[in-house]
């Protein structure tokens, strides 16, 4: 669950702030909550269990597509926001997706840090390190928005304070999965519907494939 939401009209155009290495394309999957932090109560489980299972599903899809995947947790462990950011920053990823789930709202809610964008990254404090990456994070959110919309999933874009992500030095987006209330059928609307989960996971993988090809294109120019 992500509490506050400031709607944004559109994502900014892609501007490369730090071109990634062409050979190794690293994605960090951050399954939110865990341990004593249960997250939101979903219909049939706690958010922490949903995000871990979804992270494992998405990791398999990404590995099959040639990504190097680093996760912030692989079990029901409590991991604080600073530790999550340390893991992400150490991996030097080209994208980080922080995975959440919510019983409220509909479709997928994408959040980028609400920190103001700065270009000079030399003197950034730990808690605001993401401010040098806002434009790239908005661009990543745009790529995810396109892929999900293409897959027929409703997307909402927002900006909010994101403990963890605010300290990350990479393009980073929080992806909050809510039931698909646009669906006619009851089964299709539920968070634990396997077809819905797989549609979302496949679309996120497709978005990252597109993100990787854009990055490689930027390198060639």
Residues within the interface to Zn ion (CB under 5 A): 1, 32, 39, 100
Closer of 39 and 142 to Zn ion (Cβ):
39
> To the nearest whole angstrom, how small is the minimum distance from the Cβ of residue 193 to Zn ion?
19
- The 10 Å Cβ neighbour count of residue 214 is 15
Residue nearest to Zn ion (CB): 100
Closer of 117 and 167 to Zn ion (Cβ):
167
DSSP structural state of residue 14: P
> To the nearest whole angstrom, how small is the minimum distance from the Cβ of residue 2 to Zn ion?
6
> To the nearest whole angstrom, how small is the minimum distance from the Cβ of residue 120 to Zn ion?
32
Distance of CA 166 to the CA centre of its chain: 13
> To the nearest whole angstrom, how small is the minimum distance from the Cβ of residue 44 to Zn ion?
16
Parallel/antiparallel/unpaired status of strands 6-7 and 155-160 = antiparallel
State how far the Cα of 182 lies from the Cα of 174, in Å rounded to an integer.
21
Closer of 1 and 207 to Zn ion (Cβ):
1
State how far the Cα of 43 lies from the Cα of 47, in Å rounded to an integer.
10
Closer of 46 and 117 to Zn ion (Cβ):
46
Copy the structure tokens of residue 161: 């304070």
């Amino acid at each position: 669950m992500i509490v506050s939401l400031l709607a944004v009209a559109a994502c900014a155009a892609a501007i490369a702030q730090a071109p990634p290495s062409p050979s190794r394309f690293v994605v960090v999957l951050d399954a939110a909550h865990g341990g004593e932090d249960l997250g939101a109560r979903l219909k049939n489980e706690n958010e922490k269990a949903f995000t871990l299972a979804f992270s494992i599903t998405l990791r398999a899809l990404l590995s099959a597509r040639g990504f190097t995947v680093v996760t912030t947790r692989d079990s029901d462990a409590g991991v604080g926001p600073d530790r999550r950011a340390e893991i992400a920053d150490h991996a030097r990823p080209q994208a980080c997706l922080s995975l959440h789930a919510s019983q409220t709202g509909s479709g997928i809610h994408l959040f980028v840090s609400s920190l103001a964008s700065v270009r000079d990254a030399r003197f950034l404090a730990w808690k605001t390190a993401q401010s040098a990456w806002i434009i790239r994070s908005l661009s990543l959110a745009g790529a995810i928005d396109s892929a999900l919309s293409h897959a027929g999933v409703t997307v909402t874009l927002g900006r909010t304070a994101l403990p963890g992500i605010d300290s990350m030095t990479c393009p980073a987006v929080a992806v909050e999965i809510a039931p698909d209330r646009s669906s006619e059928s009851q089964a299709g609307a539920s968070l634990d519907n396997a077809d819905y989960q797989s549609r979302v996971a496949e679309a996120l993988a497709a978005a990252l494939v597109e993100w990787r090809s854009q990055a490689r294109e930027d390198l060639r120019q």
